[in-house]
Amino acid sequence: MSTPVQLTTRKDWVSDQEVRWCPGCGDYSILAAVQMLMPELNVNREDTVFVSGIGCAARFPYYMNTYGVHTIHGRAPAIATGLAVSRPDLHVVVISGDGDALSIGGNHLIHALRRNVNITILLFNNRIYGLTKGQYSPTSERGKVTKSTPAGSLEAPFDPVSVALGAEATFVARTHDMDRAHMQETIRRAWAHEGAALVEIYQNCNVFNDGAFTDITSRTSRDDMLIDLHHGEPIRFGAQKQFGVFRHLDGSVYTDTITLDNEASMVVHDESAPDPSGAFALSRLTRSDHEPTPVGVFRNVQRPEYGDLLNGQIVDSQERDGLGDLAALFRGNGSWTVSA
């Protein structure tokens, strides 16, 4: 609440629970990144709540020495909404996965983003159902062979960043489990955002979908395959920054080698553009995990936060009309008196 922020170290944020993900799971590096980042966020443990749904990622709150609730499948954004609007003094983080956030909980996700509720959503995307032992997820690529799709998945996948931008989320970013510094920087910015922030984290499930992101996130391929977005700068990538992102006349974007001729027309990243179309185009740049993929902050704009608005109506009403009076309420619709 209003208590001064205590200085903490990583250890203070680690709970006494034994971590139970499969050895080698990308979730470990995300957990470590968050636990190391927390002491830098100027927040007390008791003012921090991690809320999760169901799935491997959803075990996350048990490992954080904060307040935490492990809830039901897909509903974490809705539960977090009730919590965040009731307690604007808290930092509420939703931990979710691709199945949790985009399949069973898709409705809650888009509405929390649309309302701009003050929550930070970390969406661990491993493109598979892990906890139920390996069925395709709403982010699995078409044709994916899994236990439930022996002949290949028939479905077009969701891109979580595109979905969030479509819901006009005010903060949308992507990072990955192989780069702690990038994760921390991205989550730090999401944390600082007022309103709903969604961070998609590419996460390796080494048991059921190993190497899903290796082509783009491995140390050797990263330079050429990850397009790190920086606000206000031309979007370029590659070991020698020899590639750039350019815009077609129809607004869609593509990558190309930078030349003297095209250099001036490179897209300059504007995360604060009021219209989400530019960010959306960037989210559609690639449709696979084998081509250059943008990471970093796609969109970061200000819009009134839902809890502020909701609580503001209460304050306005109390200032205008005074605090509620039960006796007056009970008589409000008309009353009569029976005398003795």
Partner 1 sequence: MTQPPSPLSSVVLRFAGDSGDGMQLTGERFTTESAVFGNDLATLPDFPAEIRAPAGTLGGVSAFQVQISDHDITSAGDTPDVLIAMNPAGLRANVAQLERGATIIVNVDAFDERALAKAGYLENPLADGSLSAFSVFEVPMTSLTTAASEEVGVKPRDAERSKNFFALGLVCWLYSRPIENITAWIDKRFAKNDLVRQANYRAFRAGYDFGETSEAFAVRYEIAPAPFAPGEYANITGNTALAWGLVAIAQRSNLPLFLGSYPITPASDILHELSKHKRFGVRTFQAEDEIAAAASAIGAAYAGSLAVTTTSGPGLDLKSEAIGLAVALELPMIIVDVQRGGPSTGLPTKVEQTDLLHALYGRHGESPVPVLAPATPGDCFDTAIEAARIAVKYRTPVIVLSDAYLANGTEPWPIPDPLSIDPIDPDFASGPNATDAEGNPAFWPYLRNPETLARPWAVPGVAGLEHRIGGLEKADKTGAVAYDGKNHEVMTHLRADKVAGVVADIPDVVVDDPSGAARLLVVTWGGTYGPVAAGVRRARARSVNVAHVHLRHLNPLPANLGEILSSYSTVISPELNLGQLASVLRSRYLVDVKTVSKVQGAPFRAAEIDAAIEEYR
Among partner 1, ligand SF4, none, what binds residue 205 when CB lies within 5 to 8 Å by partner kind?
Answer: ligand SF4
Return the SS3 of 214.
helix
Query: Total number of residues binding ligand SF4 (CB under 6 A)?
Result: 11
Q: Which of 133, 135, 146 is nearest to 103 (CA)?
A: 135
Contact between 95 and partner 1 by CB under 8 A: the answer reads no
- Stretch near partner 1 under the rule CB under 8 A, chosen from 44-52, 226-234, 237-245, 261-269: 44-52
Is residue 29 within the footprint of ligand SF4 (CB under 6 A)? no
Tokens representing 76 are: 């974490």
Residue type, 236: R
| Interface characters, 111-140, with ligand SF4 (x: CB under 6 A) | ---------------x---x----------
Q: Is 56 in the site for ligand SF4 (CB under 6 A)?
A: yes
Nearest-approach distance from CB 52 to ligand SF4, in angstroms: 13
DSSP string, 96-134: EEHHIIIIITHHHHHHHHHHT-SEEEEEEE-SSBTTTTS
**Could you say which of ligand SF4, partner 1, none residue 199 binds, taking C-beta under 5 to 8 angstroms by partner kind?**
none
Q: Is the dihedral of CA 70, 72, 74, 80 positive or negative?
A: negative
Window 4-23: contact mask with ligand SF4 (x via CB under 6 A): -----------------xx-
- Give me the sheet containing 236-237, strands edge to edge: 236-237, 243-247, 253-257
Q: Is the distance from CB of 160 to CB of 172 less than 8 angstroms?
A: no
d(Cα 279, Cα 285) in Å, to the nearest integer?
Answer: 10
Near ligand SF4 by CB under 6 A: residue from 171, 208, 298, 306: 208
Q: Alpha-carbon distance 38 to 9, whole Å?
A: 8
Q: Which residues bind ligand SF4 (CB under 6 A)?
A: 21-22, 25, 27, 56, 126, 130, 205-208
Q: Which residues bind partner 1 (CB under 8 A)?
A: 1, 3, 15, 17, 44-49, 51-52, 54, 61-62, 64-72, 75, 78-87, 89-90, 107-108, 111, 310-311, 313-314, 316-318, 321-324, 326-327, 329-331, 333-340
